[in-house]
Chain A
Amino acid sequence: MHKLYIQDVTLRDGMHPIKHQYTKQQILDLAIALDKAKVDAIEIAHGDGLTGGSFNYGFGAHTDWEWLEGIAQHLRHARLTTLLIPGIGTIKDLKRAKDLGVESVRIATHSTEADISAQHIEAARNMDMDVSGFLMMAHMNDATSLAKQAKLMEDYGAHCVYVTDSAGALLMDEVADRIKAFKDVLEPSTEIGIHCHHNLSLGVSNTIVALQEGANRLDASLAGMGAGAGNCPLEVLVAYLNKMGAEHNSDLFQLMDLADDVIRPLQERPVQVDRETLSLGYSGVYSSFLLHAERAAKKYGLDTRTILQELGSRKMVGGQEDMIVDVALDMLKKKKP
């Protein structure tokens, strides 16, 4: 049995709701506080991973290097981690993160495209980093095929592979099927992770289902700070783990305080299940599209839900934020006689 491992994503996925605008001081203070509350890993990067800053995804208040610099030396318990999406970030970027004290990385691809991660996973291994494969939009691939993709990542050298429900679209049974399929094909030494979005209010439930099926690396963020309706809320997850008697390191009350006193006041656009974020889960749309779709809806006088629905039916994948304006302009053309 692998030890339960809680990874905080407040400072990476949590970049989305505030358009990647954390200050350096906020990142430092939160990293220190999360370390004190003993989460096992703290992920820091632009919401779309290293060098995600762009017109397409939003420019950050800082570069990844500025955010990462000077954090590692303050961590006593937690591992400093980051995320890289091949096609956006490169091995050069990974090396730079490693030089800033990052010990662990997740290499993220769409749920059918694991083979573009080979180069990056191998590079991370060669740098002696802990490395995970991160299969995004897991609802767009069936359990057996997704497990084959996970096996590829294991073959490239991943220590762990995640079921990543980027659209918050998976039902509880669907999470269970995917974790079971992973268990069937992966080596026992390979860890399994779960990353949820709360769009169908299943952030905690799906995380627990995954845990019960054999996942041991659980992603969560303070007050759910993350794209769409957010991630699995960390403090709620820890409360649940306490009640079920699971062994972990994190301190519930410290996390509750951070969630309510520090994070919630930052959420200009409330991170919650509402008609827009529910539509993400319902239509199977990448959660990070939310603010971009809301902006396009406002600019072109359209309904956010309809845009999201159309993006879902066009089977857009993570990273195709440029297609939001495209969809909006297409809808505008149809509206006009």
Chain B
Amino acid sequence: MKKAKIAIIGPGNIGTDLMIKIIRNASNLEMAAMVGIDPNSDGLARAKRMGFVTTADGLSGLEQMDIWGDIDIIFDATSAKAHHQNWSIVQKYPDKKIIDLTPAAIGPFLVPPVNFNTTKDMQNVNMVTCGGQATIPIVAAVNRITKVHYGEIIASIASKSAGPGTRVNIDEFTETTARAIEDVGGAEKGKALIILNPADPPIVMRDTIFTLSENGDQIAIKESINEMVAEVQKYVPGYTLHQEVQFEEIPEDKAVFIEGLGHRYGLKTTVLLQVVGAGHYLPAYAGNLDIMTSAAMATGDKLAQLSNL
């Protein structure tokens, strides 16, 4: 089977980790080009040493090169602002796809084990946020058994793994993730919290998901969650349930008051997850970055497989 040729824009931590993952683990993707804007960047130098085409003239630079015609999929690991420019180029070539790892979210959110099939035909898809990739599968796993009124997630990450992009615009994380809990996870109302913990040695990424749903079969919910965890593990091996799924019935006379929903009762489900990174380019504690690059690669792999069918 012919592999899809890919280019990565943004030779930073995320772009470099993604490159290494694709070289080592991708079934249907072939690393071809690394695109940056700084000729002195370490990431570009590394890609060049490894024998890939590089340019420091941005995507418009790559567009002028011979290899451009062969590129099938572009991964954008830059910023929301840069993505708008990159998309304006890719848009002109309907046979090319772009997987957006920035918060720009021009295309629909894509969480591989949840909604790949409904978004696979889009030319531009967005990978939500690290916390979204880790938690939305769980919200969806509950929602496929019983209606989820409310999904709340808490992502705790090591301070060292929170890059400047996250730090200067932390609202983007909470707002985007909350929206995707609703759009992709299926909750009527979503809420996202993010905590940076500076402990040294750095803490491993932890994610907690609370859902309030209609009362449902707890065994079926538990099984659904376990199946979903196994699905995510296929592309993020370090994604595990840290504790048994916890249930608590909230009776009608003890309904909770949720902003935007009013008083609600039913079944509270608590899921405590841990995400250990593969330690490719980024350290193992940075599970938050690993799950983004892993989800992006999984998406690319699936897209490439489809186009060969």
Contact = CB atoms under 8 A, between A and B. Distances in A.
Nearest to A58: B256
A325 B195 contact: no
Given A54-B193, A113-B198, A90 B152 contact: no
A99 interface: no
B175 interface: yes
A295 to B, nearest CB: 11
* B contact patch SS: strand
B270 interface: yes
B167 A115 contact: yes
Interface stretch (A72-80, A180-188, A197-205, A315-323): A315-323
Contacts of A127: none
Interface in B212-260: 212, 242-244, 246, 256-259
Contact of A119 (B156, B171, B244): B171
Given A62-B257, A86-B170, A326 B198 contact: no
Nearest to B210: A55
Interface residues of A, number: 37
A113 to B, nearest CB: 5
B174 interface: yes
A77 B206 CA distance: 45
Interface residues of B, number: 36
A286 to B, nearest CB: 11
A317 B171 contact: no
A325 B152 contact: no
A59 B206 contact: no
Contacts of A118: 167-168
Listed residue (B156, B193, B197, B242) with the most chain A CB atoms within 10 angstroms of its CB: B193
A330 B242 CA distance: 9
A91 interface: yes
A320 B159 CA distance: 14
A67 B242 CA distance: 37
Interface in A48-64: 51, 53-56, 59-63
Nearest to B211: A55
The 3 closest A-B pairs by CB, nearest first: A322-B208, A55-B210, A315-B199
